[in-house]
Amino acid sequence: MDQFTINLLFVGASFALYIGIAIWARAGSTSEFYAAGRGVHPVTNGMATAADWMSAASFISMAGLIAFTGYDNSSFLMGWTGGYVLLALLLAPYLRKFGKFTVSEFIGDRFYSQTARIVAVICLIVASVTYVIGQMTGVGVAFGRFLEVSNTLGLLIGAGVVFAYAVFGGMKGVTYTQVAQYCVLITAYTIPAIFISLQLTGNPIPALGLFGEHAASGEPLLTKLDAIVTEIGFKEYTLHHADTFNMVLFTLSLMIGTAGLPHVIMRFFTVPRVADARWSAGWTLVFIALLYLTAPAVGAMARLNITEMMWPNGTNAQAVSIETIENDARYDWMSTWQKTGLLDWEDKNGDGKIQYYNDASETMQAKAAENGWAGNELTKFNRDILVLANPEIANLPGWVIGLVAAGGLAAALSTAAGLLLAISSAVSHDLIKGAINPNISEKGELLSARIAMAVAIVVATYLGLNPPGFAAQTVALAFGLAAASIFPALMMGIFSTRINNTGAVAGMLAGLVVTLLYIFLHKGWFFIPGTNSFTDAEPLLGTIKSTSFGAIGAMVNFAVAYVVAGMTKETPPAIKELVESVRIPRGAGAAHGH
Amino acid sequence: MSDNSSNNAYWAANMRIILISLAIWALVSFGFGILLRPMLSGIPVGGTDLGFWFAQQGSILVFLAIIFFYAWRMNRLDREHGVDEE
């Protein structure tokens, strides 16, 4: 059986499983559609939240970004896990006690203002749509590779599948499907990592293998990696090269953003009790950590494997020849990925070999002049292909490659579905039922939810064709937006009785607008390429990249809310009582919708 | 329902636990993982130093410990102050 058939088999079987579960658990009432009847156990909820949370960014994109940058991209690892501490300590238990369905309902009630609720809905939609764009980028890469079509066609097919899938069920279908997806994605991520760790270090646990010994050379793996990448002109993998201030801000943005993302917060509305909301955040992080502890190992080991493949006899001998790439089965992955347009090479000096090195490095330029090289010949290596190509690079059996295909799609699909659900409930429940037409029928509400999903996916697909960055970078922008708008409002709503309606609205708007402006100035207006005035290499303010601005946006939000609240009318006593009651677990009954 | 002063004591205790937890959260990530890494560079871990380990794995393990500690501690605090869910 050829690889294409194996991939289709694995992807097809996993899809059949998810769709089967979605039909079995189809949502009947609106309450079930949004919150699964609140009967979900913390461990189950944690697993589903982990699947919901770990998207194409975590599964497909992150290890690739770490692989090609090393230590400096540790921000992704710390940022996307550290946010759960904020969520567990500062938000989850209180929002569960409050006991409504959506994030904007809390903001609307706590700040006793329909305007606050609508502003929250807008913030939520902006962040979620940006997030879906990142997912679509990943979906495009995955479908492009496994259907062996171009990235663009892969994206269009993927969009159709995501839509059909998300419309099928509501939260209940999604919760149990996501448990299945978690199992698929974690297996798919871990198995190749174990194989590769065994090959390179002899240690079956990749997280330990990363700090273990490189079996072939007897040196520590990371020492070996540092040596080989510097030999071809790249910076040491383990050292700190990036700007420290920007790295701190970026990490903080990802952390605050994690705690401000509506589709994650919504999950904590679905546990039975306040105590469970606290445990649930912990269980979620356990399931996330299983992947996140493996990811840095995947990145480092893949970087080593790729470099060694391009220099099979060491960096001082001859580079790999085109003949080998075209004929040796171990290099088949290069031709298959070339078809997607995400990997490419060019024999610039016509010597029949592909020299892969950093042509920006001066020592390498001297070496190139000496050897007659005409620049780096591995001309394109999209970071997002690394994880998916990894089992092929390590020459693992066909079924592992098929499994990774299914895992990557599970990651992208589960998150895209969760986000579409958050967007659709924001539009139908908060915007239409909450503000525009309170008398809408249940049927009408479900219909408008589905229309909102369709619109969101069309916009995301269109923008996903020219994404503002690799999947994880686009997703990082979404986190910045969530960090700047939603998180501060929720936190102030719980921890301060002083912040009033006007303060909260002003804060959210200020945070969202400055962050969005900063992102658009660097990434182009509405992410349209070429309309940007600055780049992340030379940002507007000091060293602050657009992906790191969310932390600044959050501070603006806090500051504006505080100042405006100080100048306007005090919070009414009834709202102060509401805040007091949210802080105490006792009396957290079943949630009520309206 | 418990009275107001008991609720205030509960909230003050909660705030104390949150602040300590967040101090540790920041220390292992922004501290050991980034800003204090030069100070930890003398401690070797598998071909690199302790700061690298904290940035890529250690902080995640500490985050887990913080969340489970907080859940356990708060559920006990709820009962001590009689504010747990019956």
Residue bearing the bigger pLDDT, A391 or A416: A391
**For position A441, what pLDDT does the model report?**
83
> DSSP label at A293?
T
pLDDT, tens digit (0-9, with 9 covering 90-100), for A531-554: 888 888 888 888 889 999 999 999
> Is A81 near chain B, with CB under 8 Å?
yes
**For the residues A64-78, what does the mean pLDDT come to?**
93
**For position A171, what pLDDT does the model report?**
47
**For the residues A383-387, what does the mean pLDDT come to?**
88
Q: For residue A250, is pLDDT > 50?
A: yes
The dihedral sign for the CA sequence A506, A510, A513, A516: negative
**For position A32, what pLDDT does the model report?**
52
Q: For residue B45, is pLDDT > 80?
A: yes
Q: For residue A423, is pLDDT > 50?
A: yes
Confidence of residue A31 (pLDDT cuts 50, 70, 90): low
Contact A85 B14 (CB under 8 A): no
Contact A254, A76 (CB under 8 A): yes
Which residues of chain A from 230 to 259 reach within 8 Å of chain B, CB to CB?
Answer: 238, 240, 244, 247-248, 251-252, 255
Question: Which amino acid is it at A29?
Answer: S
Round to whole Å and give the CA distance between A484 and A488.
7
**For the residues B71-85, what does the mean pLDDT come to?**
90
Among A26, A278, A560, residue whose Cα is nearest residue B76: A278
The Cβ of residue A204 has, within 10 Å, a number of other Cβ atoms equal to 12
The Cβ of residue A190 has, within 10 Å, a number of other Cβ atoms equal to 18
* Token pair in block for residue A421: 């659900």
The CATH number fitting domain A3-301+394-583, selected from 1.20.1730.10, 1.10.10.10, 1.20.1440.20, 3.30.499.10: 1.20.1730.10
3-state helix vs strand vs coil in chain A, percent to 5: 75, 0, 25
pLDDT, tens digit (0-9, with 9 covering 90-100), for A85-123: 999 999 999 998 887 777 888 999 999 998 999 999 999
Contact B47 A275 (CB under 8 A): no
Which residues of chain A from 471 to 530 reach within 8 Å of chain B, CB to CB?
Answer: none
Residue bearing the bigger pLDDT, A268 or A570: A570
Round to whole Å and give the CA distance between B62 and A21.
35
| CA closest to A240 among chain B residues | B34
Shortest Cα–Cα distance, A415 to chain B (Å): 22
Q: For residue B14, is pLDDT > 90?
A: yes
> DSSP label at A343?
E
Residue bearing the bigger pLDDT, A460 or A87: A87
Confidence of residue B1 (pLDDT cuts 50, 70, 90): very low
Among A224, A240, A282, whose Cβ lies nearest the Cβ of B67? Answer: A282
CATH 1.20.1730.10 in chain A: give the residue spans.
3-301+394-583
**For the residues A139-156, what does the mean pLDDT come to?**
84
Contact A282, A88 (CB under 8 A): yes
Q: For residue A147, is pLDDT > 70?
A: yes
Which positions ≥6 away from A307 have C-beta within 8 Å? A228, A229, A232, A315, A356
**For the residues B3-10, what does the mean pLDDT come to?**
81
Residues in chain B with CB shorter than 8 Å from the CB of A220 are: 46-48
Q: What is the percent of chain A with per-residue pLDDT over 70, rounded to a whole number?
A: 95
Among A212, A275, A285, whose Cβ lies nearest the Cβ of B67? Answer: A285
Confidence of residue A159 (pLDDT cuts 50, 70, 90): confident
**For position A54, what pLDDT does the model report?**
87
**For the residues A478-507, what does the mean pLDDT come to?**
94
The count of CB pairs under 8 A between chains A and B is: 143
Residues in chain B with CB shorter than 8 Å from the CB of A84 are: 63, 67
Q: For residue A33, is pLDDT > 70?
A: no
Contact B64 A282 (CB under 8 A): yes
Confidence of residue A593 (pLDDT cuts 50, 70, 90): very low
Among A81, A89, A585, whose Cβ lies nearest the Cβ of B78? Answer: A585
**For the residues B7-30, what does the mean pLDDT come to?**
95
Round to whole Å and give the CA distance between A260 and A546.
18
**For the residues A192-219, what does the mean pLDDT come to?**
93
Residues in chain A: 594
Which residues of chain B from 11 to 70 reach within 8 Å of chain A, CB to CB?
Answer: 11, 14, 18, 21-22, 25, 29-30, 33-35, 37, 45-49, 52-53, 55-57, 59-61, 63-64, 66-68, 70
Among B82, B86, B73, residue whose Cα is nearest residue A273: B86
Residue bearing the bigger pLDDT, A421 or A455: A455
**For position A26, what pLDDT does the model report?**
61
**For position A210, what pLDDT does the model report?**
94
The pLDDT mean for chain A works out to 87
**For position A594, what pLDDT does the model report?**
39
> What residues pair up with A344 in beta bridges, in sequence order?
A380
Round to whole Å and give the CA distance between A92 and A99.
11
Residue A271 CA: distances (Å) to CA of A101, A109, A189, A300, A590: 12, 21, 28, 38, 10
Round to whole Å and give the CA distance between A383 and A89.
34
Which of B48, B68, B86 to substitute to test the interface with A, most A CBs within 10 Å? B48
Confidence of residue A174 (pLDDT cuts 50, 70, 90): low
Residues in chain B: 86
**For the residues A133-162, what does the mean pLDDT come to?**
84
Buried b (16+ CB within 10 A) or exposed e, A371-409: eebeebbbeebbbbbbbbbbbbbbbbebbbbbbbbbbbb
Contact A207, A294 (CB under 8 A): yes
φ and ψ of A397, to 5 deg: -60, 155
Residues in chain A with CB shorter than 8 Å from the CB of B35 are: 244, 248
**For position A566, what pLDDT does the model report?**
92
Tell me the pairing of strands A320-321 and B48-49.
unpaired
Q: CA angle, A503 as apex, A502 and A506 as ends, to 5°?
A: 80
> Is A207 near chain B, with CB under 8 Å?
yes
Q: For residue B86, is pLDDT > 80?
A: no
Confidence of residue A80 (pLDDT cuts 50, 70, 90): very high
| CA closest to A75 among chain B residues | B55
Q: For residue A172, is pLDDT > 70?
A: no
Confidence of residue A492 (pLDDT cuts 50, 70, 90): very high
> Is B6 near chain A, with CB under 8 Å?
no
**For position A27, what pLDDT does the model report?**
52
**For position A342, what pLDDT does the model report?**
87
Which position has the token pair 């649930």? A280
Among A538, A483, A539, residue whose Cα is nearest residue A515: A483
Which positions ≥6 away from A479 have C-beta within 8 Å? A79, A127, A131, A253, A254, A256, A257, A258, A260, A261, A550
**For the residues A358-370, what does the mean pLDDT come to?**
91
**For the residues A247-275, what does the mean pLDDT come to?**
87
> DSSP label at B86?
-
**For the residues A351-372, what does the mean pLDDT come to?**
91
